[in-house]
Amino acid sequence: MPTGGAPTASQTVRLPEPSPLSTMTLDEALRTRRSVRDFRPDALGPELVGRLLWAAQGITSDEGFRTAPSAGALYPLELYVVTGEGVSRYLPEGHGLAPLARADVRADLAAAALGQAVVGDAPLVIVVTAVLSRTAAKYGADRGERYVHLEAGHAVQNVLLEAVALGLAAVPIGAFDDARVAEVLSLPRAHAPLYLVAVGRPR
Ligand SMILES: Cc1cc2nc3c(=O)[nH]c(=O)nc-3n(C[C@H](O)[C@H](O)[C@H](O)COP(=O)(O)O)c2cc1C
């Protein structure tokens, strides 16, 4: 399963433009967000998947700035998308997906997440990884590590709130075996898994 190489334009699947889909206020999203671990199995579709990815790392300015802040605007995060249809990587430039594998690896990912059933049952799992060297090159290894962890939190909180605003639900997952997640997704060595978010329609 080749996941390391840069995808060519012809392989990229464009996601629908992230036009506003929700009228829920931020205040209401903050009040109603709750970790949910029981989802309906139906797929979310490209519009919703695209919105959630955009919330995490979408580009929102001509200069390339994104929905989530980034230390030094160095953008170390790389997002992987796991659904029943396979594995892909989010490409903020062009708001697209680079398909990487067609297999449904959710059961393997659930096993890597210490057997958490929600990871296997969710129609969508976003895997947040980081390329530490992008940030460490400027801030050093220790500070860089702190910054990529903070950034993963920013990105995931955006997903959690966007999910609520879209009538979906989610749970952040920090309990997993890093090496097994990397193996299941065939991650490039430099892409270290930091955080998972399982998303779906609440039952
Ligand atoms: C860093 C972090 C890691 C977490 N890891 C898991 C996890 O592995 N599995 C899980 O079911 N929930 C996980 N959670 C969700 C917490 O259990 C949940 O946020 C907490 O119980 C508070 O509930 P609430 O999110 O509904 O407010 C995690 C939350 C955080 C912030």
Could you tell me the CATH number of the domain that includes residue 133?
A: 3.40.109.10
Cβ(31) – ligand 1 distance below 6 Å? no
Atom 15, ligand 1: which residue's CA is nearest? Answer: 172
Tens digits of residue pLDDT in 93-114: 999 999 999 999 999 999 999 9
Give per-residue pLDDT as tens, 154-169.
999 999 999 999 999 9
Answer yes or no: is 21 within a domain. Answer: no
Exposed / middle / buried, residue 41 (Cβ in 10 Å: 0-12, 13-18, 19+): exposed
Whether residue 173 has its Cβ less than 6 Å from ligand 1: yes
Task: Determine the structural domain holding residue 178 and report its residue range.
Answer: 32-202
Is residue 7 assigned to a domain?
Answer: no
In the predicted model, is pLDDT for residue 45 greater than 70? Answer: yes
In a domain, 14, yes or no: no
Is 25 inside any structural domain?
no
User: Which pTM value belongs to this model?
Assistant: 0.95
Q: What are phi and psi of 145, to 5 degrees?
A: -65, -45
Residue 1 clears pLDDT 80, i.e. is over it: no
Contact 132, 112 (CB under 8 A): no
Give the model's pLDDT for residue 20.
81
16 part of a folded domain: no
